[in-house]
């Protein structure tokens, strides 16, 4: 018998815990046919509602259900890491609690693993049910990201992914504090099969990602998987130096030939504003990397456990 670990990060998902369980075991025959034993690991990311109670109830009925809860909200990335660490399975799958990752895809995904793929990932081809502005910025992010990073980051990729133990170990070996999972999966490599499906809307409850949270997350992705912004700021610095040098010569020559002192403070103000703006901007970029380095150097744990069964 092979063991399949289903890892489910949950943050305030009280309405979805039971539904997820029911939905997963609805097509029970598949697991039996393939000789798969299943364990469900709910990773509670510091929920403040009844999520933990729901999981405990399920655990009492079915010992295949497990819980690992955090002392506070550490973010989905940390929950994924914790789940991979806790899982004992030969195969591991990451799924959202809100049923946006349809369990009905599992047989197909498993088929590809049998064919020899190391991991089977999913991407949604539509963004139905999402605010248009959010879709626009999401697309923009992926376009920029793939230009400036050598790690491939797939547009619309979900975290729904079935992988072998070997891939999971590779991901666990990346113990960085700033975890951008989409990049980490690309970085570790291995043969990955991509499945596409239409976006499924969240069953119950609301998305945990505000626009601002997504924006900060995207900056995290850029600093974690690209140093291009640093190069751009260096190039900008060099460009402004050159420009200044040329202008100095022009002014000196003009003064010597025409003897007319350059007038006009408005132009001066504009130049000062522009250049100091660029300086601050570049300083900000350096600051981003420095702050990430600072957090990394502290070597803080990625999560702190409250309860584990
Ligand atoms: N999640 C989490 N910690 C967080 C935010 C979200 O564990 O800080 C979980 C959430 O419970 C869900 C999954 O991550 O199972 C995806 O979250 P959500 O559905 O809100 O994101 P979306 O599908 O809108 O991208
Ligand atoms: Mg969701």
Summarised one tens digit per residue, pLDDT across range 132-141 is: 888 888 888 8
Mean pLDDT to the nearest integer, 287-296: 90
- Give the whole-angstrom CA distance, residue 194 versus residue 181: 16
Query: Which atom of ligand 1 approaches the CA of 207 most closely?
Result: 20
* Most confidently predicted of 79-88, 216-225, 233-242: 79-88
110 in ligand 1 pocket by Cβ < 6 Å?
Answer: no
Alpha carbon nearest to ligand 1 atom 12, residue: 96
- Taking only the tens place, the pLDDT of each residue in 80-118 is 999 999 999 899 999 999 888 888 888 999 999 999 999
- Taking only the tens place, the pLDDT of each residue in 8-51 is 999 998 888 988 999 888 877 888 888 889 999 999 999 998 89
Least confident piece of the model among 195-204, 215-224, 260-269, 277-286: 260-269
Among residues 281, 225, 206, the alpha carbon closest in space to that of 11 is found at: 206
Alpha carbon nearest to ligand 1 atom 3, residue: 76
**Cβ proximity of 94 and 80 under 8 Å:** yes
Place 128 in a pLDDT band, splitting at 50, 70 and 90.
Answer: confident
Place 250 in a pLDDT band, splitting at 50, 70 and 90.
Answer: confident
pTM of the model: 0.83
Give the DSSP per-residue string, 107-143: HHHHHHHHTT-SEEEEEES--TTS-HHHHHHHHHHHH
pLDDT given for residue 115 in this prediction: 92
Give me the helices (H) in the chain, please: 17-24, 28-33, 51-61, 76-86, 106-114, 132-148, 165-172, 181-188, 211-225, 228-258, 265-298
Sheet holding 36-44, edge to edge: 192-197, 119-124, 157-164, 91-94, 2-10, 36-44, 65-70, 305-308
What mean pLDDT value characterizes the chain? 87
Place 305 in a pLDDT band, splitting at 50, 70 and 90.
Answer: very high
Query: Which atom of ligand 1 approaches the CA of 100 most closely?
Result: 23
Query: Which atom of ligand 1 approaches the CA of 208 most closely?
Result: 20
- Main-chain phi, psi angles of 165, to 5 degrees: -55, -40
95 in ligand 1 pocket by Cβ < 6 Å?
Answer: no
184 in ligand 1 pocket by Cβ < 6 Å?
Answer: no
Gap from CA of 93 to ligand 2 centroid (Å) = 16
- Main-chain phi, psi angles of 283, to 5 degrees: -60, -40
159 in ligand 1 pocket by Cβ < 6 Å?
Answer: no
- Give the whole-angstrom CA distance, residue 181 versus residue 160: 11
pLDDT given for residue 175 in this prediction: 87
- Give the whole-angstrom CA distance, residue 85 versus residue 5: 11
**Cβ proximity of 97 and 65 under 8 Å:** no
Which helix (H) or strand (E) segment is 190 a member of? none
Gap from CA of 11 to ligand 1 centroid (Å) = 6
Q: Tell whether the torsion through CA atoms of 55, 61, 66 and 68 is positive or negative.
A: positive
Among residues 189, 192, 182, 118, the alpha carbon closest in space to that of 154 is found at: 182
With a CB cutoff of 8 Å and minimum separation 6, the contacts of 28 are: none
In this model, does residue 263 exceed pLDDT 70?
no
DSSP state of 104: G
202 in ligand 1 pocket by Cβ < 6 Å?
Answer: yes
């Amino acid at each position: 018998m092979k063991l399949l670990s289903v890892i489910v990060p949950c943050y305030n998902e009280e309405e979805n815990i039971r539904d997820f369980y029911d939905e997963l075991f609805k097509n029970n025959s598949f697991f039996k046919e393939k000789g798969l034993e299943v364990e469900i690991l709910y990773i509670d990311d510091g929920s403040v509602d009844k999520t933990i109670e729901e999981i405990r109830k399920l655990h009492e009925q079915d010992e295949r259900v497990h819980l690992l809860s955090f002392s506070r909200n550490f973010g989905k990335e940390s929950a994924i890491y914790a789940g991979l660490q806790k899982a004992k399975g030969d195969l591991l799958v990451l799924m959202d609690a809100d049923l946006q990752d349809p369990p009905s895809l599992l047989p197909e995904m498993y088929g590809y693993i049998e064919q020899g793929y190391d991991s089977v990932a999913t991407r949604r081809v539509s963004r139905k049910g999402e605010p248009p502005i959010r879709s626009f910025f999401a697309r923009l992010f992926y376009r920029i990201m793939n230009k400036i990073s050598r790690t491939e980051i797939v547009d619309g990729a979900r975290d729904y992914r079935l992988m072998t133990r070997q891939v999971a170990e590779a991901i666990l070996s990346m113990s960085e504090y700033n975890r951008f999972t989409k990049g980490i999966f690309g970085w570790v490599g291995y043969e990955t099969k991509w499945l596409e499906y239409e976006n499924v809307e969240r069953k119950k409850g609301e998305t945990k990602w505000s626009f601002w949270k997504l924006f900060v997350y995207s900056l995290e992705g850029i600093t974690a998987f690209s140093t291009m912004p640093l190069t751009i700021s260096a190039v900008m610095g060099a460009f402004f130096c050159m420009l200044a040098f040329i202008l100095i010569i022009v002014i000196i020559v003009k003064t010597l030939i025409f003897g007319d002192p350059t007038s006009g403070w408005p132009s001066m103000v504009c130049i000062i504003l522009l250049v100091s703006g660029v300086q601050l901007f570049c300083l900000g970029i350096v600051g981003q990397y420095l702050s990430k380095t600072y957090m990394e150097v502290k070597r803080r744990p990625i999560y702190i456990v409250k309860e584990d069964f």
